[in-house]
Structure 1
Amino acid sequence: MDSFDFDEVFDDIEEAELQQLERPTKRQKSTHSENAQDELDEAYHQALAERLLNDKFGYATFRHEQAGAIQRVLRGQNTLVVFPTGAGKSLCYQIPAIAFPELDKADGTREPDVAGVTIVVSPLIALMKDQVDALRKRGISADSIDSTKSWDQLQIIYGSLRRSQLRILYCAPERLNNEGFIETMKYVPGGIRLLAVDEAHCVSEWGHSFRPDYLKVARFVDEIKAERVICLTATATPRVTEDICKAFKIEESCVFKTSPYRPNLQLHAQTIDDYTGDPQAVLNMMLGVRGKSESDKRFEALFRFLRDHPGPTLVYVALQQQAELHAEVLVGEGFNAAAFHAGMKTEVKTRIQDAFMASQIDIVCATIAFGMGIDKPDIRNVVHWDLSSTVEEYSQQIGRAGRDGQISHCMFYLTPSSFYLREVFARGDLPSRQALKRLMLDILSHANGKLVGEVFKLSQYSQGRDFDIRPNPLSIVYAILELHFGLFRAVTPEYSTYKFEATKAYYALKSDNSREAKAVLTYAVKRVKLYDIDVNAAAHAMGLNRVDVVKKLNQLNERGAIKLQTMGIEHRYVILKKLPETDLEAVVDKLYADMASQERDAIRRGREVMDLITGPRCYALSLAEHFGMSLPDGKTRCGHCTFCITGKSVRAPFRPVVKTTRATIQEVLKSTSVRDDPRFLARVAYGIKSPRVTLLKLDKLPIFRSLAHHDFDV
């Protein structure tokens, strides 16, 4: 799409009109032709957006195609923005959010107390918090609704919404399952002016990080009657772009794309081949296991790169133990490095992230858990030690380097078992057909006897353990059953168990005459140290809603009267139509076919990354074309990637593949009595963990990963 140039927008408009910068009244509109009126509106929108950009954010001009996207939103059109990481996507919804009250004032169509709100659907609590803090520092009223908020904090937020004092509200996509939230949003004074969908590629089943809850965002838009939608992503292929546009009814003229090419990023690649004939030694290298010599010569290339390119650096690895090993080895070589992964305590991760942002730590060795929302302008290097899961992920991660415009280096190491880990991740998500059928029978048993419109409850945690399905593919199964088959709809989950430890202040509850207090005092039963309370029974006996008793417990916890513990999340679903019992096989077949297709797609995506790095062409050109774009001025070479510099393709690493024999399979069969699922046994032999593997402790046996260098399909 063409960007809007500021000077061109004001062609054919009188200077006096520009100086007034007032939106035309309805009386004035009648004196202009429709086209002239559109130009005048655009001029007003552009001038207002430019002023807010300068006054609130301190920037003189818009970048990329920000101005064009903002124009579309202010005109009430659904819009898609595909900009590289760090290119200022958030301004495309923040500027309109604070512009709406001024537009209302100029129109005279709304009172200030019905200004509405902009909702931003965003996947990470930490990212939401950073955005809210940044907006508040600029004097913009913003907040977020997430699991860290207390009941009192939520009441303050809802009060601000009722008084039209909140301009921007962030929430996670999972919040859209909450009936109370949906109902509240339906009745916000002034309505939902704009719904911004951050990381919008998650809505596509062909996206590189598909999240089932994102599929429900489009339904939420219709339910709350949002006036307009803006979708934002750094990584949308043409196919994903098509999916997003279809889901949110976005016209082609409202799609704004900017090439992912960044001339200051120098893309490098190197093959590390230290294969000695021992497949296990190669596997140890990938899994973060130290070699016997402890010399770690396999890291010498990394040491040289980091010494040649000093500065803040991110080293991406696939596994948590790798992050720790790399940090340990780098520290031993005199580098100022730390590990970061999802298995660490929150306070530790926060400390490391803050130290890196403050340049107190030079190098972070991390899994993909680190980076989203990191806005450190002077990251000089991004290193990939393992094969990225997708080209999109690779593009997103290198986009964290060099945001200050200075030369930065992105090194991709190809190691002998690079593709093995990608295959482990991909093949671990496909349950067996037997498991899917048992899952469906279990769902039917929970819903048995329930009528359309009634609610049934179950524990996805228990189902994942019982039927050997990982959390993410299990959530995808439920999303397919909900959205493709229309069988039921997810509503607000509940905790099944409430326990608390009483403090001295708890006993003051006796003077509280409310029914909620009486429910807690009467139905909380002391065991040893902790009290148990059946919230449903207490609410029913006292003629209360369940939420009333839960609210009281939360209030007591916030006041320090009790130390509340909740556990056992139960997912709740309202039945939309009679669940299938006779054609169950057809449902299972469709589920399995869909998920098998996703497995094949995940493996293909990993190969695309390998092909990009080892292909006979410029990396920057291949990357741009992956997203349906090109290099500036029609160039076919960036001039500074490894291929452009050497004129040669990087050789793919040698990966040993061992022939599978009856004897090797017999070793696996001897170690376990499991015979109901051949795919499960193959995953054990290949080294793929799952709930059932952990439960049976098969990952502790020699057979686990014993056939890792064999062909999985064989």
Structure 2
Amino acid sequence: MSDNEYDDDVFDHLELDDDDVFDDIDEDELVALERPAKRAKTEASEVERNLALGDSHIALAERILSNQFGFKAFRHEQAAAIQHILKGDNVLVIFPTGAGKSLCYQIPAIAFPELDGPEGTREPAEAGVTIVVSPLIALMKDQVDVLKKRGIPAESIDSSKTWEELQMIYRALARSQLRILYCAPERLNNEGFVETVKRIPGGIRLLAVDEAHCVSEWGHSFRPDYLKVARFVDEIKAGRVVCLTATATPKVAEDICKAFSIQPAYVFRTTPYRPNVSLDIMLGFHVKSERDKRFEELFRFLRANPGPTLIYVAMQQQSEIHAKVLAAQGFKAAPFHAGLKTEVKQRTQDDFLSGKVDIVCATIAFGMGIDKPDIRNVVHWDLSNTVEEYSQQIGRAGRDGKPSKCMFYLAPSAFYLREVFARGDLPSRSSLAGLVFDIFKEALGVPVGGVFKTNHYRQQKDFDIRPSPLSIIYATLELHFGFIRATTPEYSTYKFEAMPSYFGIIKQHKSLVIDAIYKNAKKKLKWYDLDVYEAASYKNTGLTRGDIVAKLNQLDQQGHIRLKASGLMNRYIVQKALPRTHEDKEKVVDKLYKDLTDREKDALQRCKEVMSLITGSKCFALSLAQHFGMGLPKDKEKCGHCSFCLTGKPIQPPKLTVTPTMASSIQKVLEATNVRDDPRFLARVAYGIRSPRVTALKLDKSPVFRSLAHHDFEVSQSKSLLDYC
């Protein structure tokens, strides 16, 4: 399909021809069919109205596109997607990075009040809001800044906001003064936020799920919190949903559609191929010093290809080393990684956008949603985790349509680094068993339908399990076993500071909930402590915990109190009888461990897919498009400008020599710690993989940490260390 064309197949099932309705039916049957005939005519009229309405929707969308965003026409499948969103359909948009996914929810958000119109059923004060679920603060800030410059009222709720800023946002929501609100998926776990959203005048007109591939359990970037987004849609009764991603394989797209009830006809996608971007591969070398040959190659590349550049590295330390080395060579470079302070990351992002910094040496987070069309180069210093991640990152180059380069330095140690990341998420079976038994212990005595609470942070430390696999374990107990269902977490402690207007509110508003808060709040110096359960049971008035929390948040939003909530407790509803015997619990552990082991194998296989892509006997651009179930334009077999097309030869992958595991090396690891109950834990230390227990024992600071980096992990774990344990 060419740009600006609609997906005609979407409307095929709606076409009716009145002249053919009664073909092959005799007159005696007409009486019996009178009502169906009338219904068919009614449906035909409805189709005509829908098509006419669709035309008016597109006319409105095109006017907003021109007036608010300064574009002359829609690209790709934007128009078709927006048309169906305005009509009320749930939609999936799969466009490559930089292809204009955000317009697919921004334009509807602006259009809704106009669609209501003077003759509509909604008052201006009930225009509702569009909520955008996005995983990164940087993306939210950039989008909000751009929208505000265009005169579009938008805000984000995130951890960087001050108390005063949050009050302004909540007041604007209550007055229907915002069109778009950005938040992280984790925000949907905040009971105060959920209760507030339920009360927004006009409701949620549209929920946009950015990075929607995170919904898929077997996607390259599965995040269990995204599973709760679909439930959030039902809880807040969102009008419609648009899911957006640049990296959905056919299987992942199917998972997204299932989660959000999206019909196959309402999936709009376009090829990731960009003719102005060349994909190049260069064999790299081990970097042992700042003057190493691989750095010299990088210097030459950057001098030959000047312009804004992103250099992706695997580790935070690399980010800072690269920026330092490049700065010493006269390049304007800066590091960016999760370990930097928020204000430092923000300054780097702003400097890159404004041109004060030419090169950002970053880990994977940087670049998500960054609106910089003139990025000339994207350099991969290390192997990407997945083909999807690689595709997303190179998609940031050359959005302005001008020639751009993507260089991949393939070093012998590349796969080792990714193996470290992949193997870090699989706990030992004994750790998993400890966690599962602990979960069932927490739920002991809770009837079906009842709620139990857990503290994930404690369980991470107690059972040496990282946050990501811990979340996946809970999600598996819910999705695959059906034992539990995650519900809104709650804070164990609520405190508030009373503002001068608080006591005036107490006197003026004689309501049960206000009285319950006032009578049960206990002052301790500056702050009041409140047991929300105690307040809810005040005088047996029938108040709920939700009533108390909602009023506290309202008082906070109105500036009458300054609220603090702490002690996050995850809450789960028992869905069916839980295993009671040791044998039944062990069966659950076995199934969970197999699932986690399969995930580790899958993560390792994804790394191999990246290697296969860049070392295969095929055009890189074609291989990339085929990974997502598509091809090159006009069914071409070659792009004509990638490394393979230019040389006609595949890149030979570098070989990394695996050192045989020696008893003396293992003995040094054993001497560094008295841990003997977990061979996988010892293998993690030797291989250089951090975990909560490794960090707590400070073994990541020991000389033995990463001492067997170039050995076979499976052998280290399953053979030698077991012999010594």
Q: Could you say whether these structures have the same fold, taking a TM-score greater than 0.5 normalized by the shorter chain as the test?
A: yes
Correspondence list, 1:354-433, <5 A? 354-433=350-429
- For 1:693, the aligned partner's letter is V
Distance 2:655 2:74 in 1: 48
**What's 2:66 paired with?**
54
Q: Is the CA contact (8 Å cut-off) linking 2:501 and 2:560 kept in structure 1?
A: no
For residues 636-678 of structure 1, what are the alpha-carbon distances to aligned partners after superposition, in whole Å with 9 as ceiling and x for unaligned?
Answer: 1111111111111112112111122444434433432222122
Aligned counterpart in structure 1 of residue 457 of structure 2, from 443, 458, 461: 461
Q: Which moved more, 1:39-48 or 1:613-622?
A: 39-48
**What's 2:150 paired with?**
138
Q: 1:4 to 1:254 in 2, by over 3 A?
A: farther
Distance 1:205 1:541 in 2: 40
**What's 2:580 paired with?**
581
**What's 1:170 paired with?**
182
- For 2:652, the aligned partner's letter is R
Deviation at 1:269, TM superposition (A): 0.7
Deviation at 1:221, TM superposition (A): 2.0
- For 1:573, the aligned partner's letter is Y
Q: Does 1:618 align with 2:630?
A: no
Distance 1:508 1:628 in 2: 60
Q: 1:420 to 1:166 in 2, by over 3 A?
A: same
Distance 1:162 1:358 in 2: 35
Number of residues of Structure 1 aligned to a counterpart in Structure 2: 670
Please, which runs of 5 or more residues in structure 1 have no aligned partner? 10-28, 274-281
Q: 1:62 to 1:576 in 2, by over 3 A?
A: same
Distance 1:552 1:88 in 2: 40
- For 1:76, the aligned partner's letter is G
**What's 1:348 paired with?**
344
- For 2:682, the aligned partner's letter is L
**What's 1:22 paired with?**
none
Distance 2:420 2:86 in 1: 46
Q: 1:653 to 1:559 in 2, by over 3 A?
A: same
Q: 1:616 to 1:474 in 2, by over 3 A?
A: same
Deviation at 1:373, TM superposition (A): 1.8
Q: 1:451 to 1:698 in 2, by over 3 A?
A: same
Q: Is the CA contact (8 Å cut-off) linking 1:204 and 1:210 kept in structure 2?
A: yes
Q: Does 1:72 align with 2:88?
A: no
**What's 1:19 paired with?**
none
Q: Is the CA contact (8 Å cut-off) linking 1:535 and 1:549 kept in structure 2?
A: no
Q: Does 1:686 align with 2:682?
A: no
Distance 1:506 1:230 in 2: 40
Aligned counterpart in structure 2 of residue 203 of structure 1, from 203, 206, 215: 215
For residues 168-191 of structure 1, what are the alpha-carbon distances to aligned partners after superposition, in whole Å with 9 as ceiling and x for unaligned?
Answer: 232221222234444444454444
Q: Does 1:488 align with 2:500?
A: no
**What's 1:652 paired with?**
653
Aligned counterpart in structure 2 of residue 296 of structure 1, from 281, 284, 292: 292
- For 1:193, the aligned partner's letter is R
- For 1:679, the aligned partner's letter is R
Correspondence list, 1:94-133, <5 A? 94-105=106-117, 108-133=120-145
For residues 414-437 of structure 1, what are the alpha-carbon distances to aligned partners after superposition, in whole Å with 9 as ceiling and x for unaligned?
Answer: 111000010000000011121111
Deviation at 1:444, TM superposition (A): 2.7
Deviation at 1:690, TM superposition (A): 0.5
- For 2:469, the aligned partner's letter is P
**What's 1:669 paired with?**
670
- For 2:355, the aligned partner's letter is S
3-state SS of paired residue (2:318): helix
Q: 1:523 to 1:560 in 2, by over 3 A?
A: closer
**What's 2:512 paired with?**
none
Q: Is the CA contact (8 Å cut-off) linking 2:171 and 2:557 kept in structure 1?
A: no
For residues 400-449 of structure 1, what are the alpha-carbon distances to aligned partners after superposition, in whole Å with 9 as ceiling and x for unaligned?
Answer: 11111111111000111000010000000011121111112222333334
Distance 2:561 2:226 in 1: 38
Distance 1:178 1:7 in 2: 39
Distance 2:658 2:380 in 1: 24
For residues 599-653 of structure 1, what are the alpha-carbon distances to aligned partners after superposition, in whole Å with 9 as ceiling and x for unaligned?
Answer: 1111011111111111111111111111111111111111111111111111211
Q: Is the CA contact (8 Å cut-off) linking 2:279 and 2:405 kept in structure 1?
A: yes
Deviation at 1:513, TM superposition (A): 7.6
Q: Which moved more, 1:157-166 or 1:116-125?
A: 157-166
**What's 2:605 paired with?**
604
**What's 2:31 paired with?**
none
For residues 660-701 of structure 1, what are the alpha-carbon distances to aligned partners after superposition, in whole Å with 9 as ceiling and x for unaligned?
Answer: 244443443343222212211211111111110111222223
Q: Is the CA contact (8 Å cut-off) linking 2:494 and 2:532 kept in structure 1?
A: no
Deviation at 1:536, TM superposition (A): 6.5
Q: Does 1:443 align with 2:439?
A: yes
Deviation at 1:554, TM superposition (A): 12
Q: Which moved more, 1:104-113 or 1:428-437?
A: 104-113
What RMSD over aligned residues (CA atoms) do the two structures have, in Å? 3.5
Q: Is the CA contact (8 Å cut-off) linking 2:219 and 2:252 kept in structure 1?
A: yes
Q: 1:311 to 1:148 in 2, by over 3 A?
A: closer
Q: Is the CA contact (8 Å cut-off) linking 2:190 and 2:490 kept in structure 1?
A: no
Deviation at 1:59, TM superposition (A): 1.0
Distance 2:271 2:503 in 1: 66
Distance 1:447 1:192 in 2: 35
For residues 221-242 of structure 1, what are the alpha-carbon distances to aligned partners after superposition, in whole Å with 9 as ceiling and x for unaligned?
Answer: 2233323221100111111111
Deviation at 1:102, TM superposition (A): 2.7
Distance 2:680 2:80 in 1: 51
Q: Does 1:267 align with 2:266?
A: no
3-state SS of paired residue (1:327): helix
Q: 1:584 to 1:336 in 2, by over 3 A?
A: same
Distance 2:119 2:182 in 1: 27
Q: 1:551 to 1:465 in 2, by over 3 A?
A: farther
- For 1:677, the aligned partner's letter is D
- For 1:416, the aligned partner's letter is P
Q: 1:53 to 1:561 in 2, by over 3 A?
A: closer
For residues 286-318 of structure 1, what are the alpha-carbon distances to aligned partners after superposition, in whole Å with 9 as ceiling and x for unaligned?
Answer: xxxx63xx5333311111111111111111100
Distance 2:187 2:624 in 1: 34
3-state SS of paired residue (1:713): helix
Q: Which moved more, 1:146-155 or 1:546-555?
A: 546-555
Correspondence list, 1:497-508, <5 A? none
- For 2:352, the aligned partner's letter is F
Distance 1:375 1:439 in 2: 43
For residues 215-269 of structure 1, what are the alpha-carbon distances to aligned partners after superposition, in whole Å with 9 as ceiling and x for unaligned?
Answer: 1222222233323221100111111111111212222211111110111111111
For residues 556-600 of structure 1, what are the alpha-carbon distances to aligned partners after superposition, in whole Å with 9 as ceiling and x for unaligned?
Answer: 9999999x9876543333444443323222222222122111111
Aligned counterpart in structure 2 of residue 324 of structure 1, from 316, 320, 327: 320
- For 1:682, the aligned partner's letter is A
Q: Is the CA contact (8 Å cut-off) linking 1:179 and 1:491 kept in structure 2?
A: no
- For 1:167, the aligned partner's letter is R
TM-score by length of 1: 0.85
- For 1:620, the aligned partner's letter is A
- For 1:119, the aligned partner's letter is I
**What's 2:720 paired with?**
none
Q: Is the CA contact (8 Å cut-off) linking 2:383 and 2:410 kept in structure 1?
A: yes
Distance 1:213 1:57 in 2: 32
Distance 2:682 2:378 in 1: 37
Q: Is the CA contact (8 Å cut-off) linking 2:495 and 2:565 kept in structure 1?
A: yes
Q: Which moved more, 1:313-322 or 1:190-199?
A: 190-199
Q: Which moved more, 1:436-445 or 1:343-352?
A: 436-445
**What's 1:475 paired with?**
471
- For 2:579, the aligned partner's letter is P
Q: 1:637 to 1:439 in 2, by over 3 A?
A: same
Q: 1:263 to 1:553 in 2, by over 3 A?
A: closer
3-state SS of paired residue (2:374): coil
Distance 1:457 1:354 in 2: 42
